[in-house]
A = this chain, B = another copy of it.
Amino acid sequence: MTITGPQGFRAAGVAAGIKASGALDFTLVVNDGPLDVAAGVFTRNVIKAAPVLWSQEVLKQRRLKAVVLNSGGANAATGPGGFQDTHATAEKVAEVLGAGAIEVAVCSTGLIGERLPMDAVLSGVDTAAKALEASAGASLNAATGVMTTDSKPKQAFAKHEDGWSVGGFAKGAGMLAPNLATMLSVLTTDAVVDPEVLDRALRAATGITYDRLDVDGGTSTNDTVLVLASGASGVEPSEAALTETLTAVALDLVLQLRADSEGATKDVDVVVKGAVTEADAVAVARTVAEDNLVKTALFGSDPNWGRIAMALGRAQATIDAEQVAIAINGVTLFAHGTTAEDRSAADLSGRAIEIVIDLGVGDHTATVYTTDLSHGYVEENSAYSS
């Protein structure tokens, strides 16, 4: 049990017929309370899918009874009709659960620019409501129903020693998938928590996990992370403990997303230390993580620090070229403006690669989680969309 690991939740994943393949494509997560506290973070893309526009409105109340999610279609760039489809889906879920539509968040993932088959979606609500369970099988089905080109479902769970827990699932990674946008994640907790605290804890957790997974710089029209709190454990943790546990579950999911990225052959941590500000550290790490010349070198298991130096030198951050040190897998290859150890000393043959960049001008640190750029990535993302 993961999404239903915390007490007070039921979930289901069913085949609603949205995907032509007949695979699971429809997920429902229900909070049975006693609390119905919720928080969400959404894509910063200016072009937002209909379900994002809906769920952002719904979350202003910081209460959710349920989340309904579909794969097989992003319902993005679908105009007013697409928004009506999202609204009708929430209404249907509310009707079946005896709740209000305003208590139902909606998430979609799949091809941009296509309307959803609403007959399948609405009958899917009935099918999913009947399948709701607090079981490991239901959790797995729920995590599977949101998959697009993911090769496996991603689930995580952590139990705090004080008797409350956090669970959840995730799918995708940035705009990794061909035409199939989106990173979606739903987290649950049975902690007793104030809405303001849950919101802050979620933002703190996502800020250093989901926000720092960067495979190709993509920011989909549909990205959504939701957390629902049932209060069923009866335990009210400190904000710090809640944030820490949410962060641990989120990071677990993020590393699963990275490992399953299309075409990735390397799991790459870009760690920046010694920055003047955290924003500087993130800017440098992100510029290096997104650089195609760095990423292709990593695919070739090549400790090409010259490309890392080039990439960090174009980041928007305070950098003194003489103070920068670059290490790969523990071997310092560049320092004091020139070469340090010979590049042959750095072994990049394994899947895990750690690049540590010490800017040497401050005390701030950040890590961005990325991958290499491989033939597999090009192959999977250049296939024709229709």
Contact = CB atoms under 8 A, between A and B. Distances in A.
A319 B44 CA distance: 12
A160 interface: no
Interface in A278-296: 290-293, 296
Nearest to A299: B382
Interface stretch (A124-132, A189-197, A301-309): A301-309
B47 A79 contact: no
Interface string A45-89: 111100000000000000000000000001011110110000000
The binding surface of chain A is classed by DSSP as: loop
A175 interface: yes
A314 B45 contact: yes
Interface residues of A, number: 68
A216 B293 contact: yes
A218 interface: yes
A339 B77 contact: yes
A338 interface: yes
Given A79-B337, A307-B175, A302 B384 contact: yes
Contact of A310 (B112, B290, B296, B343): B112
Given A45-B313, A112-B306, A292-B373, A300 B216 contact: no
A181 B304 CA distance: 12
B338 A78 contact: yes
A385 interface: yes
A374 B381 CA distance: 10
A297 interface: yes
Contacts of A81: 338
A377 B373 CA distance: 10
Contacts of A240: none
Interface of A: 44-48, 74, 76-79, 81-82, 111-113, 175, 178-179, 181, 216-221, 290-293, 296-297, 299-302, 304-307, 309-314, 319-321, 324, 334, 336-339, 343-344, 373-375, 377-379, 381-386
11 contacts: A45-B313, A77-B337, A112-B306, A112-B309, A113-B339, A175-B307, A179-B307, A217-B292, A301-B384, A302-B382, A302-B384
